[in-house]
Amino acid sequence: MKKLMIMLLILLSVSAIPVFADYYYEKGDTAFSFNVGTGIPAFQAFVNNSDKGFEPWIDGTHSYVGGYGSLGYQSFVTRNLAIGGEIGYAFNNSFAKKIFTTVPITAKLSWYPVQTGKFDLILHANAGIAVLRYETDRFLAPHAKISINPVYYISDSWGLGIDAGLWVNYEFYGSSASGYKSNESAFGGFIPATVSLIYRH
Amino acid sequence: MKKSIVFALLLALLLLVSCNADSEHGLYYKVSNSLPSSGIAVIGYLGYEGGTHYFYSNAGIYKVGATGGAQVLKGTENFQIHGAYMANADTFYFITITPDSPAAVYKYLVSTETASKQESLTGYSMLFSNGFLYSNTVITVVDDTASSVVLTDGKFSTPYASGDSIIVMHGSKAEIYKKGSLSTPVTVTGFSSSLKGFFHQLAEDIYLVFDGKKVYEVTASCSLGDLTPKASLPEAPSHGYKVSTYGTGIESYLVRTKTGFTKNGSWIAVDWLSRNSINDTNVVDMYDMGNGEIAVATYSNGIYIIDMAAEKVHEVRL
């Protein structure tokens, strides 16, 4: 969490530096984003369980590649910084062919260091919560995501790009958790890689 | 208005947070222990002979060696196997269900690849992996049909079979029938709940019976009230226990309950079973291999071998 705060502060500080003298966006402009694509299991990191520890990729997480989609809305608060929100839905199968779903609901901060009118390079940082579900169990987890999103505009309003990054959920259990869960707190990492459709006005 | 929306959202979030309160394991933990299906739905474990495991599914009788790769000994197409018994590595008995004809007992010889019908069955029938056949209130042994038991009072419940014996409940009373002496059952009275588990240890010719959470050792006809429980298990099962001993001492037994495994009445605290994913499997049978190891047959994840002394588990891939 501390690292995330530091990262956000750095992002805010850097955002004040104009990369290009000519800004395309004005304060108050808005953008809708629609993302759809795939999600790759990146890792599971068990913090209190020496038997498991850090388990990367498909073989480590016992999860297959799945899908991810999201909707977002943002408004520019400066000429290169936009804030808003995003809701998504991700799914992937475990080795047992049972579906694991994640519904992240986040606040979103986006920095536009490159903006030519025809092309944007956007860096996103999201923070919020995610509803995790596996079999009949659910968990509300803190959620953070960073991603990079180059976009090419095919018209004044519509752009097409690629959005890829990394998100982390934290399934936290205290020492008084029932069953075996007190030893099973874990970070879950996931790599969303999507095609993004942007509508701006 | 705004406050009530925020309150409703917070309430919804709290409800969501509490949803995993009753679960034994975390979500990521369960995912990390998930296993691919073996592709063969094991119904029962038949035996271990010459380094080979024998088991059956609805679709056939199989064998698999230590290195994995199950082979079909007798496949089925037009019927389902409903129960099987391995007399030896060449002789198998099984009962079948077909859509158009009554259930029947067949004998199959691997060496000649021939199946011969032994008898047709009427009513509810079960063939246990130790050879006991329960059919329409009659208990027999399929490769020794000279003697039989007729259950006449009509109030008995589904039997459990283990080792050389079978147990039948009549209300709070149980009768244990042993091969070779079917006419003189051991009678145990005073059960407070329906029987959930039964184990006959051949080496010492004693029985473990499970009355709710309590485990009793029985050697002769008695009342449970006169016996001291050998152990009190931490969990009462919702359905039948799976039980196996793993040596000659009666203190050495492993029980599978709904939640996990208990060793001699205590949860296995060290997570060496969970670590090997076996805790999340649907266990259909456990079998004492006679060398301190237990074969655990699972419905869709193959067979595991548990070395109880070394506390190690390895998987036999089907």
Q: Is A151 on the interface with B (CB under 8 A)?
A: no
Q: Which residue do the tokens 């047992």 mark?
A: A96
**Closest residue of chain A to B281, computed from CA coordinates:** A96
Kindly list the residues from chain A whose CB atom is less than 8 angstroms away from the CB atom of residue B282: none
Name the residue facing B29 among A98, A178, A186 (closest C-beta). A186
Question: What is the least distance, in Å, from the CA of A50 to any CA of chain B?
Answer: 10
Q: Cβ A137–B30 below 8 Å, yes or no? A: yes
Per-residue pLDDT, averaged over A163-168, amounts to 94
Q: Are the C-beta atoms of residues B174 and B168 closer than 8 Å to each other? A: yes
Q: What is the pLDDT of residue B128?
A: 93
Kindly indicate the confidence band of residue B270, based on its pLDDT and cuts at 50, 70 and 90.
very low
pLDDT at residue A133, rounded to an integer: 93
pLDDT digits (tens, 9 = 90+) for B3-43: 555 555 555 555 555 456 666 678 898 888 787 777 888 99
User: And the tokens for B99?
Assistant: 């859509």
Ranked by mean pLDDT, which of A154-168, A173-187, B2-16, B116-130 comes out on top?
A154-168
Interface contact B145, partner A, CB < 8 A: no
Q: How far is B267 from chain A (nearest CA, A)?
A: 11
Which of A49, A100, A131 has its CB closest to that of B31? A100
Min Cα distance A84 → chain B (Å) is 18
Contact B36 A96 (CB under 8 A): yes
Q: pLDDT, tens digit, for every residue of B303-317?
A: 988 888 887 888 888
pLDDT at B2: 55
pLDDT exceeds cutoff 90 at A106 = yes
Q: Is pLDDT of B1 > 60?
A: no
Can you give the pLDDT at residue B261? 79
Q: Tell me how close the Cα of A145 comes to any Cα of chain B, in angstroms.
A: 18
| Mean local confidence (pLDDT), B73-95 | 91
Residue A34 distance to chain B (closest CA, Å): 25
Instruction: Write out the H or E segment, with its range, that includes residue B29.
Output: helix B27-32
Specify the range with the lowest mean pLDDT, choosing from A21-25, A129-133, A171-175, B248-252: B248-252
Name which of B18, B28, B37 to mutate to probe chain A: the one with the most chain A Cβ atoms within 10 A of its Cβ: B28
What is the number of other CB atoms lying within 10 angstroms of the CB of residue B124?
A: 11
CB distance B38 to B53 below 8 Å: no
E-assigned strands of B41-103? 42-49, 52-57, 60-65, 71-75, 80-88, 91-97
Q: Nearest CB to A179: which of B23, B34, B280? A: B23
Q: Which of A53-57, A65-69, B97-101 has the lowest mean pLDDT?
A: B97-101
* B312 close contact with A: CB closer than 8 A: no
Helix (H) or strand (E) holding B5: helix B2-17
Token pair belonging to A179: 């069953």
pLDDT at A16 (0 to 100): 46
**How would residue B97 be classed by pLDDT, with cut points 50, 70 and 90?**
confident
Confidence of residue B236 (pLDDT cuts 50, 70, 90): low
CB proximity under 8 Å: A 21-80 to B: 44, 46, 49, 51-52, 55, 60-63
pLDDT above 60 (res A1): no
Closest CA to A177 of B18, B30, B257: B18
Question: Mean pLDDT throughout A20-46?
Answer: 88
Q: Is A134 on the interface with B (CB under 8 A)?
A: yes
Contact B35 A96 (CB under 8 A): yes
Is pLDDT at B112 greater than 50 in this prediction? yes
The per-residue pLDDT for A84 is: 94
Q: In what order do the strands lie in the sheet with B283-288?
A: B283-288, B293-298, B303-307, B312-316
Tokens of A133: 């579900």
Q: For testing the chain A interface, which of B20, B24, B313 should be mutated: the one with the most A CBs within 10 Å?
A: B20
Chain B, window 226-265: residues with a beta carbon less than 8 angstroms from a chain A beta carbon: 259
pLDDT at B271 over 60: no
What span, in angstroms and rounded, lies between the C-alpha atoms of A34 and B107?
64
Residue type, A162: I
Cβ-nearest to B27 among A96, A139, A179: A139
Point out the residue among A60, A131, A134 whose CB comes nearest to the CB of B30. Answer: A134
In Å, how far is B23's CA from the nearest CA of chain A?
7
Q: What is the pLDDT of residue B172?
A: 87
ipTM over 0.90: no
User: B33: which chain A residues are within 8 Å (Cβ-Cβ)?
Assistant: 62
C-beta separation of A89 from A46 below 8 A: no
More confident residue, B104 or B8: B104
- How far separated are the first and last CA of chain B, in Å rounded? 61
Q: Mean per-residue pLDDT for B149-169? A: 83
Mean pLDDT of B175-180: 92
Question: Residue A51: which of B20, B23, B271 has the nearest Cβ?
Answer: B271
- Tell which residue, B158, B168, B164, has the closest CA to residue B144: B164
**Tell me, what's the pLDDT at B67?**
80
A12 has a pLDDT exceeding 50: no
B25 reaches A (C-beta below 8 A): yes
CA B138 – CA B158 distance, rounded (Å): 12
* CA dist., res. B139 & res. B126, Å (int): 10
CA–CA min distance B36, chain A (Å)? 5
Distant-in-sequence, close-in-space partners of B64: CB < 8 Å, separation ≥ 6:
B52, B53, B55, B70, B71, B303, B316, B318
Average pLDDT over residues B214-218: 88
Best A95, A97, A101, A105 member to test B by mutation, with max B CBs in 10 Å, is A95
Q: In this model, does residue B166 exceed pLDDT 80?
A: yes
pLDDT (0 to 100) of residue B12: 57
Cα–Cα distance between B149 and B165 in angstroms, integer? 13
Is B34 touching A (CB cutoff 8 A)?
yes
pLDDT tens string A115-161: 998 999 999 999 999 999 998 889 999 999 999 999 999 999 999 99
Q: Output the average pLDDT for chain B.
A: 82
